[in-house]
Structure 1
Amino acid sequence: MLISLFLFWAMPAVGDKVDDEVMINLAWDSGCFNCHDVHKTLRGPAWLDVAERYRGDDTAFERLVVKVREGGSGNWGTVSMSPNRRVPMEDIHTLVAWLLTLEE
């Protein structure tokens, strides 16, 4: 958990386009865009919608890391999220932390 908190607080500012580009590339490399988009709902919810739903929820980071890693359903309708066990935990932590900072 300490690593998760460190990664969350160590994240660079999202307003910096270079950092956004790095995160987008990591998301592509991790296969996230097979089901998600930043702005629109595909098979899974838009990341801006996820960020809005969980903004201010202090427990969201850990719950979303588990959801991304293990998969599941029920939070965004009937479509289930596939597990992502091939994606390194460090990358999942980094991406979830970044996703939670997104704003329109």
Structure 2
Amino acid sequence: MKVLASALTALALTAITAAPALANQDLAQKKGCLACHGVDNKLVGPSYKDVAKKYKGQKGADAQLVQKVIKGGAGTWGPVPMPANNVTEAEAKQLVAWVLSLK
């Protein structure tokens, strides 16, 4: 019985810690981000893991990326521009935090 309780506790903790990541991927899907960006692979734009790697440890990267998500941008990843996105600042912050957390 103790083994079952321990297993259920471990499963619950895993679900709780995975929920924010899944929620942010769901937001990315809902906002259309995954039409151009893959988590692991480049589509039209870079993969989110490549973005996380590029900006890892850079001071102010999160604020810079929030503005890029909101307003769009061009030139950082090649000639194809990223259009402005229909997201609130809070949603952009949530998406950027998720992207930067990827490994």
Distance 1:79 1:23 in 2: 25
The one of the two structures with greater contact order (alpha-carbon pairs below 8 A, sep at least 6) is 1
Distance 1:19 1:69 in 2: 21
**For residues 39-92 of structure 1, what are the alpha-carbon distances to aligned partners after superposition, in whole Å with 9 as ceiling and x for unaligned?**
0000000000000000000111111111111111110011100101x2111111
User: Which 5+ residue runs of structure 1 have no aligned equivalent?
Assistant: 1-14
Q: Quick check: 2:70–2:88 contact (8 Å CA) kept in 1?
A: no
Distance 1:72 1:55 in 2: 19
User: Which 5+ residue runs of structure 2 have no aligned equivalent?
Assistant: 1-15
RMSD: 1.3
**For residues 2-25 of structure 1, what are the alpha-carbon distances to aligned partners after superposition, in whole Å with 9 as ceiling and x for unaligned?**
xxxxxxxxxxxxx93222211111
Residue in structure 2 matched with residue 10 of structure 1 by the alignment:
none
Distance 1:16 1:47 in 2: 20
Helix, strand or coil: the match of 2:101? Answer: coil
Residue in structure 1 matched with residue 44 of structure 2 by the alignment:
43
Q: Quick check: 2:66–2:92 contact (8 Å CA) kept in 1?
A: yes
Helix, strand or coil: the match of 1:52? Answer: helix
Is 1:92–2:92 an aligned residue pair?
A: yes
Q: Which has the higher helix share?
A: 2
List structure 1 segments (4+ residues) > 3 angstroms apart after TM superposition. Answer: none
Residue in structure 1 matched with residue 66 of structure 2 by the alignment:
65
Q: Percent identity?
A: 40
Shift of 1:100: 0.7
Q: Matched residue pairs, number? A: 88
TM-score of the two chains, using structure 1 as the length reference: 0.80
